[in-house]
Amino acid sequence: MKPSTYSPALRRNVEQLIKSVSKNTILPRYKSLANNEIRTKSGPGDLVTIADEEAECALAEGLTALLPGSKIVGEEAAAADPSVLDLLSNPEPVWIIDPIDGTANFVAGRDAFGVIVALVEDGITRMGWIHDPLSTRTVWAEQYQGTWISDQRMTVDTRVETNLSVLNYAHYHRAFRPMPSPLGENTYLGSAAHEYLALVENRLQVSSFSRLSPWDHAAGILIHKEAGGYTATLDGVPYTPADTEQRGILSAPSKSIWDQVRGLANEANV
């Protein structure tokens, strides 16, 4: 194991910041939103709320204070000005923020929503956090340091390798619709945060997405990788946060399982 680049205090302070913003900014709005506190962005299903905007501002202020000189790429800031994504190709530290992942669930009063934060440096995800405000649990990972919930190290279970029928999966990419019969139950959570949590808690084994938005995936892919999982774009290229080309991504417990599941994809839809 390589030594950590960052102090344990930074990791703990980021976690406490996320929990504080969740408790004081996000949860008071849960099931209490007025109609004028919800609007659409790119389309009817692409929602943003006052809680998203206030939480992103609070997180951005706190994170840059914890790491002076760092920059911010937030989902809502990028929606207003896509050029902020260019920061992900720069060498300095960049925080990627999804203030409420699963906003549609949040608006509807469903419990699958979360906060995602990643720290990227030199174009590589160095640390990542996913926090579930309702259960108050946080999963975090640091490059070469493993994936953790509290003091429990998380490990992806690869024992399903010889029996794909026990795989629970969540597929959002059209290449896997309809999914052929070899796999088990299909579960749609409507939240990347909760899907990556489910992957490292072994409640879900496979997931795929069409869009590579960095706020959805930068932290989760590191968390899954440090727990022993394998993720790559559908054309087999390793993921990087600056890769926002909409070519799809697939996560599985191992490269072997990834290859088997990737072979089930409908090539006409890739």
Determine the pLDDT at residue 137. 96
Peptide bond connecting 178 to the previous residue in cis, omega within 30 degrees of 0: yes
The CATH architecture one would assign to domain 159-269 is: 3-Layer(aba) Sandwich (3.40)
Most confident of 138-142, 207-211, 237-241: 138-142
- Domain positions in the chain are 8-152, 159-269
pLDDT the model gives residue 181: 55
The superfamily in CATH containing domain 8-152 is Fructose-1,6-Bisphosphatase, subunit A, domain 1 (3.30.540.10)
Q: Which two tokens stand for residue 242?
A: 């600056």
Whether the model clears a pTM of 0.75, i.e. scores above it, the answer is yes
End-to-end CA distance of the chain: 37
Task: Using alpha carbons, select from 251, 199, 248, 254 the residue that is nearest to residue 228.
Answer: 254
Residue 128 has pLDDT above 70, yes or no: yes
Instruction: List pLDDT tens digits, range 10-28.
Output: 999 999 999 999 999 999 9
Please say whether the beta carbons of 138 and 114 come within 8 A: no
Confidence band of 269 (pLDDT split at 50, 70, 90)? low
Mean pLDDT lowest among 50-64, 129-143, 174-188, 191-205: 174-188
